[in-house]
Amino acid sequence: MSKKKDIKSKGKIVKSKSDINVPNTISTFKVKAVLVVTLLIIIALICRLAFLQFIDSSHLQALATSQQTLTETLSAKRGNIYDVTGEELAISYYTDRIYLNPSSIKHNNEEIVANYKKMIAQGLADILELNYDEILEKINTSKNRFLVASDVVQEKVDELTSWKETLESQKFEEKTISTGISFEESSSRYYPYKNLASTVIGSVGTDNQGLAGIEYSWDELLRGTSGKSVSLKDASQSEIVNSEQTYIAAENGYDINLTIDVNIQGIVEKYLAEAVAEYQCESGSTIAMDPSTGKILAMADYPNYDCNSPYTITGPVAEIWDTLSSQEKSNEIYKMWKPKAVTDLYEPGSVFKTITASIALEESITGTDIENNFNCTGSLYFEGEKRPINCWKTAGHGSQTLRQALENSCNPAFMALGQQIGAKTSYKYYEAFGFFDKTGIQLPGEPKSGIFYSDVDAIKPMELAVMSFGQRFTITPIQMITAVSAIANDGVLLQPQIVDKITNTDTGEVTTFDTKVVRQVLSKETADNVASMMESVVYEGSGGRAKVEGYSIGGKTGTSEPIWGSNNGYIASFVAISPVENTKIVLLVILNNPAGKLHNGGQIAAPTASKMLSEILPYMGVESGNKDDGNNSNMNINDLY
């Protein structure tokens, strides 16, 4: 092969030519591509940094803070509930919740960690009396902090703290291990009187939030506002000693004093329970009210329940509890919790005749003692109706005054009176007495109004007649006693009151609730006349079993019959006022669906009221006089209405 060469020599360039061609190994395109990609990566990094720095900085800062700080909730102490005398009905005391964070249990040796977890599970099980296997399973499967136990008393907390410190001081291969156990103070609830006034007081759930009664309707004030403590924590989630700490104190809940007196409440509940058992009733309710202030002195339902165990069912339904569906069980629990004297509608029966009589007197339709004013033949027919409405006395009462008609609880007399009053006038007074509105009592579940015929112009004569003695419409017991209390309070209607005062436990400031006048419904003269007739009912008429020796008692019996074709059963009731002049107490007793031979208000509700008043009146300091007891020899006790 021939070769030509250029040789560099003596300052001259000698060119060498060859057939071998050596190419450029890095192309210009590839270099440019690498530079562009590098530039794009740099730009992306800059954009990412800018995003993190200027856009997402607050979020990242929050994440960092959450990882570096230890926040503990400081539970507010729930306010106590007292009766009007200061007796404790619901109290709060501090307990602790125990938490465990498995991610804090760290060591290089997995076998040591496994054994350490077993030691923790065993210690918690022994001290807190829990199931070892369940705790160990949670420790091994949970990644986040979980609740081990709540409502732990201080004695157990102290024992657990000592054990925890001892365990964490031990070294395993020259290293200590955190147990991951932490404490959070909480407030627990206790009801010293258990069942007493349970449907009024209510109860709280595991989260210390009100479930029913006063606990529910006044929950916001009772609960207070939780505080918190914020401090720095290390990698093991433990607080760094001497680190800066932020502390926001909890605002404790308000204390509440009810108008209820535990002594009167206890008397009422004792005799109500006895009556429900003796007369084989489905249930019963009682309200006692001071008519001059509207304050509720007692409010009871039976069956009731233990506020400390709100999910433990009581009453007849307990016998069939296991046969109920989940929804049925839930319904029964809520039914058990309700303050039925406030929430449940019922037909008041002949107790309502006090209202009809009041309207008639106020409108000057009749007087109390006008001879031959009414004539009862034993029944009354209405045009277009298939059957008459009978008086309980089938032979009739003959000629009567209004007073005698009320004494006899004569339906035909009051039906005739209802026709004279008329539907529109009746409705005007029903509204004035508060039957078309809530009473405004400070308890949950009160319906908007009673249930009446909606079109007053379409009410038929028979419907008006039946309404005159308290049937085929419904009201609540609290509406009924509030209306009767207006009669006992010189015709002035007051708003019923269950809360007497509230106290700010942090400042000591006390807020009281004054008597609230709703309206003047009747003149004092009319109210006095109706009260006088109610006294005659007890001493001359159907309310004879309500007498209390030495005290003046006024009252009215009531027996609400089931609707034709209905299985609702009878409702026996009695309303009492005492003393008749300057009345200190109005008492309403309702017994639902008695299954025994006796079912009329005069037979079972009136004597129950008598037993209650025989203890309540002396306790209240009402002076006894020499009231003639009478003998009611003209009454058939088996027919009392």
pLDDT tens digits, one per residue of 365-389: 999 999 999 999 988 888 777 788 8
Cβ atoms of 82 and 89 closer than 8 Å = yes
Instruction: Evaluate if residue 62 carries a pLDDT over 70.
Output: no
Between 372-376, 559-563, 584-588, the lowest mean confidence (pLDDT) is in 559-563
Residue 10 has pLDDT above 60, yes or no: no
> Domain 264-304+338-629 class?
alpha beta
| 562 or 35, higher pLDDT | 35
353: left (phi over 0), alpha (psi -120 to 50) or beta: alpha
pLDDT of residue 8: 46
Q: What is the pLDDT of residue 631?
A: 46
Residue 15: the pLDDT is 53
Q: Does the pLDDT at position 632 exceed 60?
A: no
Let me know: does 585 contact 290? Beta carbons within 8 Å.
yes
pLDDT band at 302 (very low <50, low <70, confident <90, very high): very high
Locus of tokens 């039914």: 335
Average pLDDT over residues 446-464: 92
Please check whether residue 482 is in contact with residue 290, taking contact to mean a CB–CB distance below 8 angstroms.
no
The pLDDT-based confidence of 49 (bands split at 50, 70, 90) is confident
Q: How confident is the model at residue 9 (pLDDT cuts 50, 70, 90)?
A: very low
Measuring CA to CA, how many Å separate 562 from each of 24, 387, 568, 570, 592? Answer: 111, 16, 6, 6, 11
Q: Could you give the CA distance from residue 516 to residue 174 in angstroms, rounded to a whole number? A: 74
Q: Give 280's Cβ-side CA count (13 Å radius).
A: 6
Whole-number pLDDT of residue 212: 96
Q: Give the H or E element holding residue 67.
A: helix 57-68
Q: Which pLDDT band holds residue 422 (cuts at 50, 70, 90)?
A: very high
3-state SS record for 144-186: CCEEEEEEECHHHHHHHHHHHHHHHHCEECCEECCCCEEEEEE
Tokens of 293: 């202030």
Task: Report residue 601's pLDDT band, with 50, 70 and 90 as the boundaries.
Answer: very high
Q: Are 503 and 255 in contact (CB under 8 A)?
A: yes
Pairing of strands 571-578, 585-592: antiparallel
Task: Give residue 236's pLDDT band: very low, low, confident or very high (50, 70, 90).
Answer: very low
Res. 17 pLDDT band, cuts 50 70 90: low
Predicted pLDDT of residue 634 = 41
Q: How far is CA 554 from the centre of its chain?
A: 34
pLDDT one-digit tens code per residue, 102-133: 988 989 899 999 999 999 999 999 999 999 99
Average of pLDDT values for 526-539? Answer: 97
User: Which pLDDT belongs to residue 640?
Assistant: 45
Q: Which tens digits make up the pLDDT trace of 468-479?
A: 999 989 999 999
Closest-CA residue to 84 (of 183, 200, 185): 200
> How much is the average pLDDT of 14-41?
69
Q: What is the Cα–Cα distance from 493 to 40, expressed in whole angstroms?
A: 84
* Confidence grade of residue 467 (pLDDT, cut at 50, 70, 90): very high
Domain boundaries, the chain: 264-304+338-629
Q: Is the pLDDT of residue 198 over 90?
A: yes
Q: What is the mean pLDDT of residues 170-198?
A: 89
Give the mean model confidence (pLDDT) for residues 267-280: 97
Cβ neighbours of 474 (radius 10 Å): 18
Instruction: Tell me the whole-structure pTM to 2 decimals.
Output: 0.80
Question: How does residue 143 score in pLDDT terms, banded at 50, 70 and 90?
Answer: confident
Predicted confidence band of residue 6 (pLDDT cuts 50, 70, 90): very low
Average pLDDT (565-579) is 87
pLDDT of residue 562: 72
Find, among 520, 517, 486, the residue nearest to 354 by Cα.
Answer: 486
- Average confidence (pLDDT) over 68-89: 82
The DSSP bridge pattern shows strands 227-232 and 69-74 to be antiparallel
| pLDDT score for 96 | 86
Q: Please state, in angstroms and rounded to a whole number, the distance separating the CA atoms of residues 538 and 602.
A: 10
Mean pLDDT of the residues in the chain: 87
552: region left, alpha or beta (phi > 0 left; psi from -120 to 50 alpha): beta
Rounded to an integer, the average pLDDT of 357-371 is 96
